[in-house]
Amino acid sequence: MIQSASIEGLLPTGVTAERFAEGFRWMLLSRTVEDKIAALYHAGKIVGGVYLGRGQEAFSAALGMALQQGRDVFAPLIRDQAGRMAFGDTVLSTLRTYLGSVLGPMRGRDGNIHRGEPRKGMPAMISHLGAMVSVVCGVLMSRRFKGETGVVGAASIGEGGTSTGAWHEAMNMAAVERLPLVVAVANNQFAYSTPSTRQFACDDLVERARGYGAQGISIDGTDLAQCIATFDAAVSRARAGGGPQMVVGRLLRLCGHGAHDDASYVPVELRELAENRDCLKAARATMLTNGWASPHELELMEAEAYEQVQQAVAQAQREPRPDPARETWMPLASEWLMEGNLQTA
């Protein structure tokens, strides 16, 4: 029953041009959305905080693409704009949430990365890191009880989040139940300002897979082809009954923790290195080099993404904001069990 971990460096990719291009499109769209959100944030137009996935689009998009909405479950985390959209979240839902439209999935009750649509297989994250992994386990248990087979559940986590007890308990539970869980660990070398040396003391977090009885794969998380091949394979193995899969992506966060943070704590050397590791630039270059798109076509794609985002912004900005007078303040589905509001008692 127990799978030992295999730690692989480079995978033969076998990724088609179409699939690579699809990944590139999600990455591009994600970057475009987030650049816009960052600009809106600095213009004071955003409600609450902004946390970007800059530099992590390849890893995230590949995970989202490997899953099937309507069948699978995906609990994204902070830096998963690309993966969310690849899984089915829309630009409009994103901007509605950030701009505070009441038509967004959280109706103004929660915001930014906390948005989700559980009925569409995307649980809404709570802030407490690690807490969503066991929730995905629960959806998978539910599917098993219902006799649905071939369902895969995925959850994202940062390297910092692996220090939580919640993450550990969920990984262990998934392995004990041999659940079809894929956990994507984005090791972007920082948790807010904290470098990995203050976060964990093994060489590569993938070394933890074996201790859970999960299969572990460690990859360069900025290489789109490798990400696609790896997540496709991990999802297939999980779907086929291979038990939990842990994919660790080596990355660098190409921005601050949030839009408020200039990341001045990141050493200069690393920041310089960083720009050369921008996964979007790399994927764009691959598109060109392989002739999968001409410079003009790429420009068109970029313009298209930009246009899509502009439209969503315009629409979300026109939409109503939450109206406290129409808000029901009803935390229970069992409405008859709500007492009158104590405030005015």
Ligand X SMILES: Cc1ncc(C[n+]2csc(CCOP(=O)(O)OP(=O)(O)O)c2C)c(N)n1
Site for a second copy in 149-208 (CB under 8 A): 163-169, 172-173, 175-176, 178, 197-203, 205, 207-208
Among 158, 213, 243, 249, binds ligand X (CB under 6 A): 158
Contact region with a second copy (CB under 8 A), list: 51-59, 100-108, 212-220, 272-280: 212-220
221 binds ligand X (CB under 6 A): no
Q: How far separated are the first and last CA of the chain, in Å rounded?
A: 59
Nearer to Mg ion, 71 or 192 (CB): 192
From ligand X, Mg ion, another protein, none, interface partner of 78 (C-beta below 5 to 8 A by class): ligand X
Distance CA 78, CA 27 (A): 15
CA–CA separation, 296 and 23 (whole Å): 19
Residue 122: helix, strand or coil by DSSP?
strand
Shorter beta-carbon distance to ligand X: residue 80 or 89 = 80
Return the residue of 45, 210, 298, 308 that touches a second copy, per CB under 8 A: 210
10 binds another protein (CB under 8 A): no
CB-CB contact of 54 with 262 (8 Å):
no
DSSP label at residue 150: S
Q: Does 160 bind ligand X (CB under 6 A)?
A: yes
Structure-token pair, residue 19: 């699939």
Q: Does 100 bind ligand X (CB under 6 A)?
A: no
Question: What dihedral do alpha carbons 293, 299, 305, 309 form, nearest 10°?
Answer: 170
Both tokens of 316, joined, read 């979300």
- Judged by CB under 6 A, the residue of 19, 239, 253, 284 near ligand X is 253
| Closest-CA residue to 228 (of 78, 72, 60) | 60
Chosen residue from 13, 68, 69, 164 binding ligand X by CB under 6 A: 164
**Strand residues in the chain grouped as ranges (E):** 73-75, 153-158, 181-187, 190-191, 194-195, 215-220, 245-250
Closest separation between CB of residue 214 and a second copy, Å?
8
Among 29, 66, 77, 106, binds another protein (CB under 8 A): 106
Place of tokens 């904001």: 321
| 114 binds a second copy, rule: CB under 8 A | no
Q: Is residue 262 part of the contact set for another protein (CB under 8 A)?
A: no
Question: Between the CA atoms of 193, 197, 199 and 204, what dihedral angle is there, to the nearest 10 degrees?
Answer: 120
Q: Which residues bind a second copy (CB under 8 A)?
A: 1-2, 4, 163-169, 172-173, 175-176, 178, 197-203, 205, 207-214, 243
